[in-house]
Structure 1
Amino acid sequence: MKSASAILAVLAGLVNIAAAQAVSAKAEGYGARVTRGGSATAVTPKEIKELTTYLTDDEPRVILLDKENDYTTSEGTESGIVCASWGTGNACQKIILNTCDSQSPAKETWNKAARQPIDVGNNKTILGVGSKGAIKGKGLRMRGSNVIIQNIEVSDLNHKYVWGGDAIGFDGADLVWVDHVTTARPGRQHYVFGFNPSKRITLSNNFINGESTYSTGCNGYHYRTFEMVGKDDQITMKNNGIYKTSGRSPALSGGTLLHAV
């Protein structure tokens, strides 16, 4: 016969699973009308290939992340020229470029996966389970509509190199809510909005962790934080924590309509 404590543990686990399938709270601001993955049965990917399929297919989905999904070496490596544009110290970022002039050019190798983000499909909800949900070594980019990303971490995108990878991207997206998401150690931007306008976007309760092993200031503070260049983007930012950054917090251009609270 099972002990009372064992039964309680099982029940607690079921409660946690049920809670993980439900989006917490509701988006405010421009993204308030986002409706997530609808009534789709929640799925939990077992490995990164399955996760990529769930994120990119045409089906409305609620996707639960219950572990770290590590893409770091999944697509191999590539080599090229990098420039020491901000110094040659051990804490200085380098930039991936074809030519460097006199800026100490060198040939180095980085991971391919981080340089190409996953294009998230329409009608997706991505939810972290407890504190376990994470995507490492690859970013997410929204080009469609009706997407929620909540309670996950996106991190470690060729952190040593500018142009190594962005954590969260938007390019012509509509109705997206990013909430309680931690971004850490990207190569370039924590959040980047492309030239195609993105409408009805809410970024809330996120933690932008700029603490860096490598940085353009060679001082442990990440420079590229938010780049918003879309023509007439509509973005609400509420209650986001920005830690140890040195610039672009945010950088606005292109007629962006930004509500920041």
Structure 2
Amino acid sequence: LLSVTFAALLGLAQLGVAQKVSGAAQGFASGVTGGGNAAPQTPKDINELKKLLADPSPRVIVLDKLYDYTGTEGTSKGTVCANWGEGAKCQKIIQDNCGNAGKSTGTWDTAAKTPIDVASHKTIIGVGNKGIIKGKGLRFRGGATNIIVQNIQITDLNPQYVWGGDAISFDGADLIWVDHVTTARIGRQHYVFGFNTSKRVTLSNNFINGDSPFSAGCNGYHYWTFEMVGKGDQITLQNNYIYH
């Protein structure tokens, strides 16, 4: 059933090969323009992608392949706790104090724990189903504004560990539209809204794929999905599919 559902949703998410935004944001992010009429640029590798995302100039960034950050920053080791059991499908949590839970040393991919900070006036758009960022999330913070993310996938952020990484994070951001984005196999949250107020955000037509080899329920269904701790956030949720 999941494979059929995912195939159908993926078909909806593939908005063609045009290097321009499809449709327009509704709700709070109405009017967002992202990189506007900037000439589309296709990053040749993960380093150029990170550089373009952080650049202060308006950019239209086209993703036409897999950008895999896994292993690029090495691995880290530390204490992990078996708060939800020792089974093969159980997530463990990265923290020092395990209380009465089982305690062991874990190894995780370092890159996934630090997202890429996206600067203002960006359009990030995928070509068909090819635009995939693996092993790193995206973060909008510190006044970042006027950003569009459409038709990409963000996957594989240390799914075996809580605190292994978040897919998409907001913290003091404004005017951001995330549309037709798939997030899958995430260590912690698919979407995070931090303590600093984020304004004019629309999340639409996204697939939050909770099918995961590891989970707090030890049953293949990811538990962590949204964290919303900001005061006065403005968020429109429209036509999103949560497989949880």
Question: Per the alignment, in what secondary structure is the counterpart of residue 156 of structure 2?
Answer: strand
* Partner of residue 241, structure 1: 241
User: AA paired with 1:24?
Assistant: S
* Partner of residue 120, structure 1: 118
* Partner of residue 214, structure 2: 214
Greater relative CO, 1 or 2 (CA 8 Å, sep 6+):
2
* Partner of residue 76, structure 1: 74
> Is 2:22 the counterpart of 1:27?
no
Q: Which deviations, in whole Å up to 9, do the C-alpha atoms of 1:26-54 show, x marking residues without a partner?
A: 00000002111021111000100000000
TM-score for both structures, normalised by structure 2: 0.92
User: AA paired with 1:146?
Assistant: N
Question: Per the alignment, in what secondary structure is the counterpart of residue 48 of structure 2?
Answer: helix
Distance apart, 1:68 and its partner CA: 0.7
Q: Which deviations, in whole Å up to 9, do the C-alpha atoms of 1:218-250 show, x marking residues without a partner?
A: 01111111111111000000000011x2xxxxx
Structure 2 matches for 1:55-204, cutoff 5 A?
A: 55-143=53-141, 144-204=144-204
Question: Per the alignment, in what secondary structure is the counterpart of residue 105 of structure 1?
Answer: strand
User: AA paired with 2:156?
Assistant: D
User: AA paired with 2:149?
Assistant: I
Q: Which runs of 5+ in 2 are unaligned?
A: 1-15
Q: Distance in 1 between matches of 2:71 and 2:47?
A: 13
* Partner of residue 9, structure 1: none
* Partner of residue 6, structure 2: none
* Partner of residue 10, structure 2: none
Distance apart, 1:102 and its partner CA: 2.4
* Partner of residue 43, structure 2: 45
Question: Per the alignment, in what secondary structure is the counterpart of residue 40 of structure 2?
Answer: coil
Q: Distance in 1 between matches of 2:48 and 2:74?
A: 18
Moved over 2 A (4+): none
User: AA paired with 1:222?
Assistant: H
Question: Per the alignment, in what secondary structure is the counterpart of residue 54 of structure 1?
Answer: helix
Distance apart, 1:59 and its partner CA: 1.1
Distance apart, 1:198 and its partner CA: 0.4
Q: Which runs of 5+ in 1 are unaligned?
A: 1-15, 246-261
Question: Per the alignment, in what secondary structure is the counterpart of residue 59 of structure 1?
Answer: coil
Q: How many pairs align?
A: 227
User: AA paired with 1:96?
Assistant: I
RMSD (CA atoms): 0.8
Q: Distance in 1 between matches of 2:240 and 2:106?
A: 35
Distance apart, 1:101 and its partner CA: 2.2
Question: Per the alignment, in what secondary structure is the counterpart of residue 224 of structure 2?
Answer: coil
**Stretch of structure 1 that moved more, 100-109 or 177-186:** 100-109
